[in-house]
Amino acid sequence: MSKVLIRGANIFDGTGADPYPGDVLIEGNRIKRVLMAPGQLPAEGCEVIQANGQFLMPGMTEGHAHLSFDNVTATADLITPPPEEHTLLTARVAARLLDQGFTSAWGASEAKLRLGVAVRNAINEGHMKGPRIRAGSLEISVTGAMGDESRLHDPRPGGPSMIVDGPEEMRKAVRLACREGCDNIKLDVSGDPFYPGTPANTTPMTFDEVKMAVDTAHAFGRRVNAHVRSIEGAKVCLKAGVDVLYHCEFTDEEALDLFEEARDRVFVAPTVSLFHTLLYEAEPYMSNEIARAMQIDRLLEASQDTHNALRKRGIRHTIGGDYGFAWSHNGTNARDVGFFVQYFGYSTKEALVCATANGGAMMTMGTDEKLGLVQEGYLADLLLVNGDPIADPSVLVDANNLTMIMKDGSLHKNALTQ
């Protein structure tokens, strides 16, 4: 069994406590010992990494991964690539995320049903490098809603979503995604500003359809993600048992109470990066004037209000900002840590908990595995950072600052030599 000893690190364990100097011993794929007194663990038989005071933290989890999205500006970018090229693109994005310190990726959805599945399998079999992946399905939507781009005169059977109507069609679609190996089922429950016919405050998908998806997925041991912006959509998802809710801009007291009741079983990814970049960084693809005409500024304000309230109620947020667009590339995902501080009232340490401990708990929900903390018995996904993310979270965005990346006890990167 391989052993790695990390000596003299400044350890941020993922609980939100202050960092402390210490050593960490990894045996196989697990953290064996964590000592707060540096230099106390024997080095015999170990590969020794001298951290020299660098910041040791758990690996990050991308909580809203679109591995098959890269430099997207329109849904046509998702529909038109042939599956062979699209699989290679997905593999490149997965490798990029690991290079950026994301040792886990929770698949939100992919542009074709098996893209995440194929890349996940190749990584698990050791054929390529990438994070732990829970593969997302193709999105499932309903006629006339987000993702339905067909028209009577122009059917789009190969569009960005599977279109269903009614519980029985939903049951079949979820069973199909499970049969094809998807870990997570994605539902488009509410509207979206990119679909004028179904704006963000609408809820085209019914409770019965969502409940059928949840019951069917859970029967297969799979999880359900939901795109939800509307108040009614959040209530439908929480009552139906959805596992992970994305966006969640609009709310009321009843919805907040439902979130609080479900806080021990649900995770929420606010995807704030999408709004920030659309408003301030989307030129030349989208002007600020167009973004405001789409009411992106209103959605960002609503997101701040809602997620500040959810933070105060103890909801487990994960980072995951809908990356993969031309204005927010996959690989810059760690920006979410700073956005959580800027927009949601988190301290930097609390935002790092969202990126590590909360993401690890989400990845392992329903299992006995432990991930996301630097503690004994946990899976060994670890980063060494040349810099202090608590003082400046932007250091996490530059891969050059990541001097060590460990996933499952194996060194993906080690820039520190004896």
Q: Where is average pLDDT lowest: 39-48, 317-326, 363-372, 373-382?
A: 39-48
Q: Kindly compute the dihedral angle of the four CA atoms of residues 65, 66, 71, 75, in this order, to the nearest 10 degrees.
A: -140
Domain boundaries, position 250: 60-363
Residues 172 and 254 in one domain: yes
Terminal Cα distance for the chain, rounded: 21
At residue 340, the pLDDT reads 98
On the question of pLDDT at 180 being above 70, the answer is yes
Instruction: Please tell me whether residues 83 and 155 are part of one structural domain.
Output: yes
**What CATH number does residue 18 fall under?**
2.30.40.10
Alpha carbon distances (Å) from 7 to 23, 28, 39, 305, 385: 5, 17, 7, 43, 14
Read off the pLDDT of each residue in 92-114 and give the average, rounded to a whole number: 98
Instruction: Compute the average pLDDT of residues 35-49.
Output: 91
Say what the pLDDT of residue 157 is.
Answer: 66
Nearest to 357 by CA among 113, 8, 61: 61
Question: Percent of the chain having pLDDT more than 90?
Answer: 92
pLDDT of residue 1: 75
What is the predicted pLDDT for the residue at 128? 97
Q: How far is CA 307 from the centre of its chain?
A: 16
pLDDT, tens digit (0-9, with 9 covering 90-100), for 12-28: 999 999 999 999 999 99
How many Å apart are CA 77 and CA 61, to the nearest integer?
Answer: 25
* Confidence label for 158 from pLDDT (cuts 50, 70 and 90): low
Looking at the structure of the chain, the number of domains it has is 2
Same domain, 162 and 225: yes
Q: Which two tokens stand for residue 349?
A: 């340490």
CB-based contacts of 293, cutoff 8 Å, min separation 6: none
Q: Which residues contact 200 (CB under 8 A, 6 or more apart)?
A: 190, 191, 192, 193, 229, 230, 249, 250, 295, 299
Whichever domain contains 268, its CATH number is 3.20.20.140
Give mean pLDDT, residues 133-151.
93
- Residue 116's pLDDT band, with cuts at 50, 70 and 90, is very high
Both 97 and 22 in a single domain?
no
Confidence (pTM): 0.96
Per-residue pLDDT of 280-304, as tens digits, reads 999 999 999 999 999 999 999 999 9
Of 339, 363, 387, which one is at a domain's C-terminal end?
363
248 with 390, same domain: the answer is no
Given a cut of 60, whether residue 418 has pLDDT beyond it is no
pLDDT in tens, 49-66: 999 999 999 999 999 999
Which residue, 172, 103, 108, 163, is CA-closest to 136?
Answer: 108
Please check whether residues 47 and 70 belong to one and the same domain.
no
- Is 275 found in the same domain as 181? yes
Tell me, yes or no, whether 384 and 240 share the same domain.
no
Taking alpha carbons only, the member of 168, 169, 223, 164 closest to residue 189 is 164
Counting residues of the chain whose pLDDT is more than 70, the rounded percentage is 99
Q: How confident is the model at residue 417 (pLDDT cuts 50, 70, 90)?
A: low
At residue 189, the pLDDT reads 98
Q: How many CB atoms lie within 10 A of CB 289?
A: 8
What is the residue type of 254?
A: E
Q: Let me know whether 51 and 128 are in one domain.
A: no
Closest CA to 189 of 221, 216, 157, 212: 212
Q: Are residues 195 and 93 in the same domain?
A: yes
Paired strand residues for 410: 407
Rounded to 5 degrees, what are φ and ψ at 294? -80, 0
- Residue 91 pLDDT > 80, yes or no? yes
54 and 101 housed in the same domain? no
Give pLDDT tens digits for 216-254.
Answer: 999 999 999 999 999 999 999 999 999 999 999 999 999
Note the pLDDT of residue 196: 87
Q: What pLDDT is attached to residue 415?
A: 96
Residues 170 and 30 in one domain: no
Instruction: Flag whether pLDDT at 39 surpasses 90.
Output: no
Q: Which tokens sit at 395?
A: 């250091």
* Alpha-carbon separation of residue 55 from 8, 23, 109 (angstroms): 10, 12, 33
Cβ-based neighbours of 400, under 8 Å, separated by 6 or more: none
Q: What's at 326, amino acid-wise?
A: A
Q: Is a pLDDT exceeding 80 seen at residue 134?
A: yes
